Amino acid sequence: MKTLYDKLWDDHVVEDLGSGDHLVYIDRHFLHEVTSPQAFDGISKKNLKPWRLAANIATPDHNVPTARGQNFELESIEDEVSKIQIIELDRNCNKFDIPQFDINSEKQGIVHVVGPENGFTLPGMTIVCGDSHTSTHGAFAALSMGIGTSEVEHVLATQCLRIKKLKNFRINLLGCPRDDVTSKDVILYVIRSIGTDGGTGHAIEFSGDYISSLSMESRMTICNMSIEAGAKVGLIAFDKITESYLSDKVQLDKSEYDKALEYWKSLSSDSNAKFDKEIEIDVSKIKPQVSWGTSPEMTSDYDSCVPELDQNSDKYSTYKKAIEYMGLKEREKLSDLTFNKVFVGSCTNSRIEDLRSVAAEVKDKRISESIEEALIVPGSGQVKLQAEKEGLDKIFIEAGFSWRDPGCSMCLGMNEDKLSPGDRCASTSNRNFEGRQGHMGRTHLVSPMMAARIAIHGGIPHE
């Protein structure tokens, strides 16, 4: 009896190298401008070429400005490093004939949004990218993980990766959530419950009737933040919802598709499969979540307080430092906080489902006077076009939001979208580390629904 992870692993192991190391074949390699330049430079110096061109897909996302408009010129990028990295991605993709959705393509966007919506992410694949949130693609019953720059070079040159096998961890999510609880709230609660090291050394498989009820976009949010729980891999089994999502995206003829579908239907853990760790969580007891600290595990219910610290806890000094950085006090009510920035976007929450959620909350309303800037950044050009087709952009603009072009944006502040010192931001991104969104910026992780409500109220609304 095998777990889903075991099945995917066994199907891709090329060779056991000893001492726990294995050579694993990689089916899909996503590239962006941040981790690829050194890798391309490495294979050039070694006089190598990409092993299998069709396996690679590239798009710029981290550094791109999100206020571009039509016919954007790369030379207008103000930050010199950002400009060089995007230009180098263009140059290398042209040099090695690697397919790319460049900065002016209607399909450009965050790589973890672009891959699934264009049918490049498929069940049963091994997928890598030089970005830790590659775990997103595990929602498709794919073995997907982030890799380092030297590994990007290795995959380009050999189509293989040297890695150790992970342990198996199953998290069963059971029950029906409140109407105001989203998949972002659920994964924040999971991380809060097991800690940011709870999944270290493991591949986490999410299962249970709650998972079965979710859309693919919500499943991607769950798997996206597996890395924040310490796991390198997040997984969800293939089912009818996966099949339906892929039905108009798979680039296969009928006979190939039928054969693939037969295999995909086997991509779930066997009923008697053994897991190294297993827990159950009743999602009906979860409330909307808001992070208060500088790690995703520092999260509480939206109607609660900053925790009172235990001086005997091994986390006392870490939590105390986080509270000080965030400009908070122990036992302070989260609902008493005043926000001046809101960010809706990132590879966690920038899909059309997320934008519809925000639009439903802000329609015919105006953002609070305390909100100095509220950004909505779609995850891809296709998401942007769909939102505009539905008139969501007009709802956002009329409410006082800034409607932007696709990119990672304020998630990590490698572009013009940054917090200033002391800014307090409600963010739908995945990390709230010190300075992540800008020097001395204060980030509170929330769902798109909660971000919209904070934008309207200027703070976390009371019951």
Question: Do residues 349 and 230 share a domain?
Answer: no
Tell me the C-alpha distance between 175 and 209, whole Å: 7
Indicate the number of domains in the chain.
2
pLDDT tens digits, one per residue of 375-392 = 999 999 999 999 999 999
Query: Average per-residue pLDDT in the chain?
Result: 97
Query: Average pLDDT in the 212-238 region?
Result: 98
Last residue within a domain, chosen from 272, 287, 302: 287
Q: Tell me, yes or no, whether 262 and 338 share the same domain.
A: no
Instruction: Report the Cα–Cα distance between both ends of the chain, in Å, rounded.
Output: 47
**What share of the chain in percent tops pLDDT 70?**
100
Q: Residue 86 falls within a domain, yes or no?
A: yes
Q: Is residue 318 part of a domain?
A: yes
Instruction: Write the pLDDT tens digit of every residue in 343-364.
Output: 999 999 999 999 999 999 999 9
Q: For residue 463, what pLDDT is reported?
A: 61
Q: Answer left, alpha or beta for residue 429, where phi above 0 means left and psi between -120 and 50 means alpha.
A: beta
Query: Residue 70 has what pLDDT?
Result: 82
Q: Do residue 106 and residue 127 come from a single domain? A: yes
pLDDT at 75 (0 to 100): 87
Asked if the structure places residue 91 within a domain, the reply is yes
Please enumerate in sequence order all residues whose Cβ is within 8 A of that of 173, keeping only pairs 6 or more positions apart, or say none: 186, 190, 206, 207, 208, 209, 210, 211, 280, 281, 283
Tens digits of residue pLDDT in 292-343: 999 999 999 999 999 999 999 999 999 999 999 999 999 999 999 999 999 9
- pLDDT at residue 71, as a whole number: 82
| Segment 263-288, tens digit of pLDDT | 999 999 999 999 999 999 999 999 99
Strands 277-282 and 341-344: unpaired
Q: Which residue segment(s) compose the domain that 74 sits in? A: 1-287
Are 303 and 287 a contacting pair, CB within 8 Å? yes
pLDDT exceeding 90 applies to what percent of the chain? 96
Residues 425-443, mean pLDDT to the nearest whole number = 97
Same domain for 193 and 217? yes
- Regarding whether 148 and 12 lie in a shared domain, the answer is yes
Q: Cβ(459)–Cβ(337) under 8 Å?
A: yes
Give the separation between CA 291 and CA 192, rounded to whole angstroms.
9
Report pLDDT for 462. 77
Among 231, 258, 287, residue at a domain's last position:
287
Contact 417, 375 (CB under 8 A): yes
Give the pLDDT confidence score for residue 398 in this predicted structure: 98
Instruction: Give the pLDDT mean for 250-254.
Output: 89
* 127 inside domain: yes
Q: Is residue 462, in this structure, part of any structural domain at all? A: no
Which CATH number covers residue 33? 3.30.499.10
Are 273 and 340 found together in one domain? no
**Same domain, residue pair 359 and 414:** yes
Q: Given this model, what pLDDT does residue 401 score?
A: 98
Residues 424, 413: one domain? yes
Q: Please calculate the CA angle 358-390-446 and round it to the nearest 5 degrees.
A: 15
Structure tokens that stand for 188 in this block: 């924040």
Q: Where a domain ends, among 287, 318, 346?
A: 287
Kindly tell me the burial class for residue 63, based on how many C-beta atoms sit within 10 Å of its own C-beta (0-12, 13-18, 19 or more).
buried
Tell me the per-residue pLDDT of 45-104, one tens digit each, with 9 for 90 and over.
999 999 999 999 999 999 999 999 888 988 889 889 999 999 999 999 999 999 999 999
pLDDT band at 187 (very low <50, low <70, confident <90, very high): very high
Q: What is the pLDDT of residue 251?
A: 86
The pairing of beta strand 160-164 with beta strand 143-146: unpaired
Same domain, yes or no: 208 and 81: yes
Residue 272 is assigned to a structural domain of this protein: yes
Residue 255 sits in the same domain as residue 400: no
d(CA 272, CA 270): 6
Predicted confidence (pLDDT) per residue in 127-156, tens digit: 999 999 999 999 999 999 999 999 999 999
Let me know whether 115 and 246 are in one domain: yes
Do 408 and 311 share a structural domain? Answer: yes
Q: Is residue 463 part of a domain?
A: no
